[in-house]
Amino acid sequence: MALRSTAEQASPRAGRTIAIDAQLVRKCTAEFLGTAILVFVGAGVATVMFGFHAFGTSVAAGVVAVALAFGLVLIGLVAMIGPISGCHVNPAVTLGAYLTKRIDPVDAVGYALSQLIGGIVGALLLLWVLNGSLFYAKSRNGLGANGYGSLSLLRMSGGGAFLAEVILTAIFVLVVLSATREDASRAVAGVVAGLTLGLANLMAVPIDGASINPARSLGPALITGGLALSQVWLFLLAPLVGGMLAAGIYLLFHQVPASPGPSPLIARLRGEPVPTHASADEELRPAGQGTAASATQPRPTSGTVAAGPDPADPTELPRPGEPPRGP
């Protein structure tokens, strides 16, 4: 059982103690980095394929390339940051994890903010790289942003794109929740998640460029602007609806444990005791066993217990013919 460490800083202005969850900062940093890499690689391949028309004469080749890019990068990210934060890199996955009581509200908000900021930074890094090409122009080649209508290969309507995003995101999040449950094999969870994301992209890329992830859509839309930015609301809302739908379906088939106690940050703000490593060890130690120090040190006697005679004091020794003195 892992206990999260918490560092405290004193606020000189207000004279109050501010609790900073160091473990949560570490997890949010991992989510930020992972989402930035996901957007940089996935949107980068999408820009090369469809912005520069690198698919040649086969549109299907470009669709497969984009789907493989998102799937393969997710497999790598699970291996890289999965042991740290679980590798959500997607606010829809974080919402599903929160609704199924896998993370607390503080972690969920921290994850979502880190992912959105990471998506923006990843898009900025991609723009920085592409600006080194003499053939690149943001207004002409784009940045792999999502869209419907004139921005869709199939000229899909907004309603069709919304429905597709809800369904495909629900499938993806449901698979992720099932692959990462307690009794599932964690060794293949990353491969399952990556292949499922690639499969969802195979269908969604011709429809609207494949979002399945609000953080993946926000960064490229903000940098590209124009029509992509005016349509980004759909790709922020639809995946979240899909995440909620996936959580509801998951709860129908799987038993969710009782809600865990508050995080150390919330407990400190409430003034409640926070479990430490020492208290956790006391709870896990079998009854009747003490620490090594308590086993080697003598136990102090209570003042209410009568002590036996002191052999060093001759007045305490019984006289010949007298019964032994004692309590």
pLDDT digits over 288-323, tens only? Answer: 454 444 444 455 544 444 455 555 555 555 555 555
Q: Is residue 124 part of a domain?
A: yes
Instruction: Indicate the helix (H) or strand (E) that contains 197.
Output: helix 189-208
pLDDT at 324 over 90: no
Q: Please tell me the distance from the alpha carbon of residue 265 to that of residue 262, in angstroms, as a whole number.
A: 8
Q: Please tell me the distance from the alpha carbon of residue 270 to that of residue 56, in angstroms, as a whole number.
A: 61
The average pLDDT across 41-56 equals: 94
**Confidence at residue 312, expressed as pLDDT on a 0 to 100 scale:** 55
Q: How many CB atoms lie within 10 A of CB 174?
A: 21
- C-beta separation of 239 from 92 below 8 A: yes
Q: How many CB atoms lie within 10 A of CB 18?
A: 13
Amino acid at site 198: G
Q: Is residue 142 part of a domain?
A: yes
Q: Is residue 199 part of a domain?
A: yes
Q: Please tell me the distance from the alpha carbon of residue 48 to that of residue 293, in angstroms, as a whole number.
A: 66
Whose CA is closest to 241, among 168, 307, 137? 168
**Confidence at residue 188, expressed as pLDDT on a 0 to 100 scale:** 87
- C-beta separation of 228 from 147 below 8 A: yes
Q: Is residue 79 part of a domain?
A: yes
pLDDT tens digits, one per residue of 62-88: 999 999 999 999 999 999 999 999 999
- CATH code of 88's domain: 1.20.1080.10
Boundaries of domain holding 74: 18-253
Q: Is residue 284 part of a domain?
A: no
Q: Please tell me the distance from the alpha carbon of residue 241 to that of residue 163, in angstroms, as a whole number.
A: 10
- The pTM of the full predicted model, rounded to 2 decimals, is 0.75
pLDDT at 59 over 70: yes
pLDDT tens digits, one per residue of 216-265: 999 999 999 999 999 999 999 999 999 999 999 999 998 776 655 555 55
**Confidence at residue 182, expressed as pLDDT on a 0 to 100 scale:** 81
The average pLDDT across 180-194 equals: 85
**Confidence at residue 304, expressed as pLDDT on a 0 to 100 scale:** 46
Q: Is residue 258 part of a domain?
A: no
pLDDT at 177 over 50: yes
Transcribe 265-298 into DSSP letters. HHHHHHT-----HHHHHHHHSPTT---HHHHHSP
Whose CA is closest to 87, among 190, 196, 239, 214? 190
Q: Is residue 326 part of a domain?
A: no
Q: Number of structural domains, the chain?
A: 1
Q: Is residue 46 part of a domain?
A: yes
- C-beta separation of 86 from 3 below 8 A: no
- C-beta separation of 134 from 147 below 8 A: no
**Confidence at residue 29, expressed as pLDDT on a 0 to 100 scale:** 97
pLDDT tens digits, one per residue of 94-153: 999 999 999 999 999 999 999 999 999 999 999 999 999 999 999 999 999 999 999 999
